Each structure stands twice: as structure tokens, then as C-alpha cells.
Amino acid sequence: MDCKKDKSVVIDIDGVCADFEKAFCEKYGWNNRHLVSLEERYLNREEEIREFVISPETYENLEIIENGKKLANFFHYEGYKVFLISARPANTHLVTFSWLKKHKIIFDFMHVGDKLNRIKILQPSFVVDDLLSVCEYVSDELNIPSFLIDYPWNQQKYLSGNIHRIRDFSEFLRIFSRIY
């Protein structure tokens, strides 16, 4: 499928739609949130953190991020194909699908696993993510505009003109209507 001909958007799940960060911080603490790597936040607990990340149970009861749901539903109602993608382990596919349905997030396709490769294949019109590295990759390597959800771990650099930092849904609407 050549998605470039169709209007489509890739939206990350954790950090955009699901509050993985809150679940992680409630278990391990709120320190070092400026660091992207969870293992780097707590160097003495790497194995325990890896177990937390790969466990499907971790993802069952994450709180919804309402702005993420609004983004997905906005793109759907504007005629975009909505692709929800996460770097979660493959063994979380069923729990992720169930979680999305339970929270009534509208989407056309869901994928867990290699996020960057999937984005490269899909070639969407836009990407929404909380990781600066993902937004830089899609902007610089694939020439795809992106929306970066504002968090402590993505404040380090000046953003290129193809990456738009957003704090909430109303800010997204202002930027989107002005630029696109």
C-alpha cells in the first residue's frame, strides 16, 4: 500500500495515547525524567526495568492521555488513515489492541515492534511522537513533518522547522490550522 497517496498519520502509543511514564514513575520514582533511557534513570535496576517493559501486564491498565485520543480521533474525522505504532515488545500486541479498543481510540492499523522501520514503510503525511529522536529521523531522513509531544526528556535541542512541539490539543490545532 502506498500511503503517500492517501492522507495518513502515524501516532505513537506510549507517551501520546497511553501514560506509560506515569506507571513507570509510580513504580520506580520520578527522578531523572530528563533522560530518555529508563535504564539510565536507574542504573542499578536495569534488569528489573527490562522485565517491567517486556511484561504485557505493564500495559493493561495504563491511564489514557486524553490529548492523544483527541489527536487520533481528529485525524480520523479529517479523513486520515490513523496508524497507531509503538516500540513495545511484540508480546504486547493483544493487550495493546484491547487497551485501545477499551479507550475508544479510533485507528485503522496498529503495530508494536520496530517503530522506525514501520514508519519508513508507511510514509505517512505526519508523525506524532514523544521521542525527539523519532521526530528528527522522520523529519531529516524521510522529510515527514512531525508533532513532538512536550515532555522533560525531549527538551535538549532546538527543533527544526519540520518538527512542531505541542503541549496540548488546542496548541496542536493552532499549529496544524496555521501550517497545514
Residue pLDDT, tens place only, 130-159: 999 999 999 999 999 999 999 999 997 778
Q: How many CA atoms lie within 13 A of 178 on its CB side?
A: 7
Domains of the chain: 8-19+64-179 (3.40.50.1000), 20-59 (no CATH)
Given the C-alpha cell 495504563, which residue does it identify? 62
pLDDT tens-place string over residues 17-58: 999 999 999 999 999 999 999 999 999 999 999 999 999 999
Question: What local confidence, expressed as pLDDT, does residue 5 receive?
Answer: 55
How many Å apart are CA 31 and CA 50, to the nearest integer? Answer: 18
Q: How far apart are CA 153 and CA 105, in angstroms?
A: 25
On the CB side of 44, CA atoms within 13 Å amount to 1
* Residue 92 · residue 112 · CB < 8 Å: yes
The predicted pLDDT at position 122 comes to 96
